[in-house]
Structure 1
């Protein structure tokens, strides 16, 4: 009977070696045949037998066990009705919410402020204005607004005026909800430069981009109902899920 644990350990080790060898074979084959795939971050089996995921950064590809074929597309689980590729990318792009530099954000508190969300926005972004106007319907939330002026030089000027305002919260709401520009102001705008660097680090390429307390990242303007749903998931400690 004492041999059973040893046999199980040996079998597990053998499987590990087999998986490593398989990964090495796939890496070697793809690097030799497709030069652009010479720096693969991860190779792992998918839920579909014989199909492997190849990850380069947050880009996903699929291949067979020999690396003879490469598929660029989405893997759908028809039984569960889930887009497995989208689910995987959502987890890969999740951001550690607690590690965000909130000192570089404008903090907006509504109601008890218990629920939390961070938003990267550009004052010249039309979708951001639509999002902000809809966000007025969400209560009991703390919004950490990271000014992210990426659309034009004018975006940087408006962001500076808002950040340097005596009341940045009101200045932001005036700009986005009431179409009232903040008066010219000046101060240390190092936070705006750090926001741009932070966005580049996390590959935030559009505004608005929302980040919830569970790390889920949602690009684009979503309605109040979807915001409420995401806040509830984050509050329940639910893992990031793909955007529908």
Structure 2
């Protein structure tokens, strides 16, 4: 049995033992009645790193849930037996993110690099200053061979200014022109009442653990926050390749 560092934010956990990760695509059964009472909807579960608990992807992010559904842990599990701590929770979530993103490929606003080497997915908000900065520096990412793919994440919710603007963007025929206009604080008028995927993007981001923008999903599925300069983004991507 591997020696694992305890998680952050324990809720009602008594006498739990830790074991090596058991990553599997199989759905694990868990009683969700108590979770539903507090507004947590389980989207998928996998065997986790804690005996008696599953790793659950929910509408509020990732949690560890006891098999009987009566205890909930919020936080990460680390393996500290190596030279550096390894975040087992994030490694498990990375695989889940990549799988879930496949269903949103047709919804993304894509800025392809001419000499593409990598693709990253960015949860963005038109009213976010750091998102605007990332957009302004698009050429620097392209110069490094990084294709940027946008999904919507209105930080203030669907009824916020950003939520309405993002819906207008995804309703527009020229989505790139609309998102650029909003991010550059230019006047732009358009329809926001069409059938659009912004709410689904927002829920996807929350299930991934996104809490602010921009949030970048790397090619290996890891989630990194902030408008990383191109050089730092490349370093993060290569870090994942070496692991």
TM-score of the aligned structures, taking structure 2 as reference length: 0.61
How far is the alpha carbon of 1:45 from its aligned partner? 6.8
Runs of 5+ consecutive residues of structure 2 not aligned to the other structure: 3-9, 22-48, 56-61, 65-74
- Contact 2:76-2:88 within 8 A present in 1 as well: no
Counterpart of 1:154? 161
Question: What pairs up with 1:111-126 in 2 under 5 angstroms?
Answer: 111-126=114-129
* In structure 2, C-alpha distance between the alignment counterparts of 1:45 and 1:212, rounded to whole Å: 25
Rate the CA distance shift 1:78–1:180 in 2: closer, same or farther, 3 A.
farther
Rate the CA distance shift 1:212–1:35 in 2: closer, same or farther, 3 A.
closer
CA deviations on 1:23-51 (whole Å, 9 max, x unpaired) are xxxxxxxxxxx8711696x72279xxxxx
* In structure 2, C-alpha distance between the alignment counterparts of 1:38 and 1:211, rounded to whole Å: 34
Q: Does 1:129 align with 2:132?
A: yes
Tell which structure's C-alpha radius of gyration is larger. Answer: 1
Counterpart of 2:109? 106
CA deviations on 1:131-171 (whole Å, 9 max, x unpaired) are 33334311133222001113251111110121122211122
Counterpart of 1:88? 88
TM-score of the aligned structures, taking structure 1 as reference length: 0.60
How far is the alpha carbon of 1:195 from its aligned partner? 0.7
CA deviations on 1:188-225 (whole Å, 9 max, x unpaired) are 34311111221222222221110112112112221111
Counterpart of 2:44? none
SS at match of 1:214: coil
Question: What pairs up with 1:172-187 in 2 under 5 angstroms?
Answer: 172-176=179-183, 178-186=184-192
Rate the CA distance shift 1:133–1:77 in 2: closer, same or farther, 3 A.
farther
After the TM superposition, which of the residue ranges 134-143 and 154-163 deviates more from structure 2? 134-143
- Contact 1:93-1:217 within 8 A present in 2 as well: no
RMSD between aligned residues: 3.7
Task: Count matched residues.
Answer: 184
- Contact 2:165-2:192 within 8 A present in 1 as well: no
Counterpart of 2:211? 205
Rate the CA distance shift 1:92–1:166 in 2: closer, same or farther, 3 A.
same
* In structure 2, C-alpha distance between the alignment counterparts of 1:204 and 1:185, rounded to whole Å: 27
Counterpart of 1:142? 147
SS at match of 2:201: helix
Looking at secondary structure, tell me which structure has more helix per residue: 1
- Contact 1:98-1:213 within 8 A present in 2 as well: no
How far is the alpha carbon of 1:179 from its aligned partner? 2.9
Runs of 5+ consecutive residues of structure 1 not aligned to the other structure: 1-18, 21-33, 47-52, 61-71, 240-244
